[in-house]
């Protein structure tokens, strides 16, 4: 019996996501490079760009799938990576919950716009057109 497996870069294990979360926590290793860049007086704009490319992209990959099932402890551990990056860069960054909400909203809007999408008809707008 297989305990866990990797599918499209996401670790699946009895739908607990603990293996996936521990793999995502490896983003913490990339904070070292962020610190090195800061020590070399790289501009804040470039630090944010490095964060978005190397850390945020890793943390938010398939976030719509696994985030809501994560435990509070797992979410705090992942948020700690963002908080540390925020301190290194010196400017506010979106929280993991905000990233999850924005990604899910964007995904939903794309499904609503694309009539060829299989899930298109699952979404019905309210008469106001807002939701």
Q: What is the pLDDT of residues 76-109, one digit of tens each?
A: 988 999 999 999 999 999 999 999 999 888 888 8
End-to-end CA distance of the chain: 43
Query: 24 or 95: which carries more pLDDT confidence?
Result: 95
Q: What average pLDDT does this structure show over 55-62?
A: 84
Rounded alpha-carbon distances, angstroms, from residue 119 to 13, 48, 110, 114, 122: 26, 34, 10, 9, 5
User: What pLDDT does 10 receive?
Assistant: 65
- The ranges assigned to domains in the chain are 5-94
User: What pLDDT does 128 receive?
Assistant: 75
């Amino acid at each position: 019996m297989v305990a866990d497996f990797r599918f499209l870069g996401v670790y699946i294990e009895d739908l607990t996501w603990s293996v996936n979360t521990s793999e995502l926590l490896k983003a913490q290793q990339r904070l070292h490079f962020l610190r090195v860049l800061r020590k070399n007086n790289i501009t804040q704009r470039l630090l944010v760009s490095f964060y978005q490319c190397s850390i945020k992209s890793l943390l938010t990959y398939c976030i719509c799938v696994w985030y809501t099932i994560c435990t509070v402890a797992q979410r705090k551990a992942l948020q700690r990576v963002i908080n540390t990056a925020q301190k290194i860069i010196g400017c506010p960054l979106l929280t993991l919950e905000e990233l999850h909400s924005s990604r899910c909203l964007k995904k939903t809007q794309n499904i609503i716009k694309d009539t060829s999408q299989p899930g298109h008809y699952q979404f019905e707008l309210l008469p106001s057109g807002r939701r």
